[in-house]
Chains A and B, each alone.
Chain A
Amino acid sequence: AQSVAQPEDQVNVAEGNPLTVKCTYSVSGNPYLFWYVQYPNRGLQFLLKYITGDNLVKGSYGFEAEFNKSQTSFHLKKPSALVSDSALYFCAVKEVLGDSWGKFQFGAGTQVVVTP
């Protein structure tokens, strides 16, 4: 069975400071990992994904994430946060195992608040 955890309900950061949103996962096979963002009254938007290859992946709006297999983590990072980054962030995992190709597991979400 697959699972994903986002240990922080909320992350507060001042504008211009580095932003990190944590995500850990548990799968039996190899993971495909994703980050999505949800702005108020808007649908979820894809940010970035790790499928294979380089452990550091770059995505939209200056975000990046590092896949760490030994720590089973996929933390989202941004070097310099903007007030407009304030939103709800979701980590998701899809287990690559057998014939189960459809099911994605989402974390509970982390609210990011960036203050001016």
Chain B
Amino acid sequence: DTGVSQDPRHKITKRGQNVTFRCDPISEHNRLYWYRQTLGQGPEFLTYFQNEAQLEKSRLLSDRFSAERPKGSFSTLEIQRTEQGDSAMYLCASSSSSGESVYEQYFGPGTRLTVT
């Protein structure tokens, strides 16, 4: 399977702890997106990379959140000093920047974070 993968699939942590999630996009995709989804809502945009450059970051994203894509391949999303309000599904998506499938995002299965 060469789809988008995310690790871990589930994470339970205590309030105040730091967590890190990993996303491996489809190999030929140079664009990568992070979203957060809570129950009953659509995905909420967090940040966007083209290759290794972080080109856009939501104003809703507090400074406790940081994302990297050091070599333009996999990406990590870190949440520091987690709060209960951070409990959500964190989704990663990737897309190509050219060709017929441009802007078509392919989503991973998500990482469900529970902060106790």
Contact = CB atoms under 8 A, between A and B. Distances in A.
A2 to B, nearest CB: 10
Given A43-B109, A44-B91, A102-B48, A90 B42 contact: yes
A102 B55 contact: yes
Given A102-B33, A102-B48, A46 B43 contact: no
Interface residues of B, number: 26
Interface residues of A, number: 23
B105 A46 contact: yes
B42 A106 contact: yes
Interface string B47-91: 110100001101000000000000000000000000000000001
Nearest to A107: B42
Contact of B107 (A44, A94, A100): A44
B25 interface: no
A42 B109 contact: yes
A61 interface: no
Given A42-B109, A43-B110, A100-B56, A105 B104 contact: no
Contact of B42 (A43, A45, A109): A109
B45 A46 contact: no
Contacts of B91: 43-44
B98 to A, nearest CB: 13
20 contacts: A34-B104, A36-B105, A43-B108, A44-B93, A44-B105, A46-B104, A46-B106, A49-B104, A90-B42, A100-B56, A101-B48, A102-B45, A102-B55, A102-B56, A103-B58, A104-B45, A104-B105, A106-B44, A108-B40, A109-B41
Given A43-B91, A109-B42, A103 B106 contact: no
Contacts of A45: 107
Interface string A36-51: 1000001111100101
B29 to A, nearest CB: 13
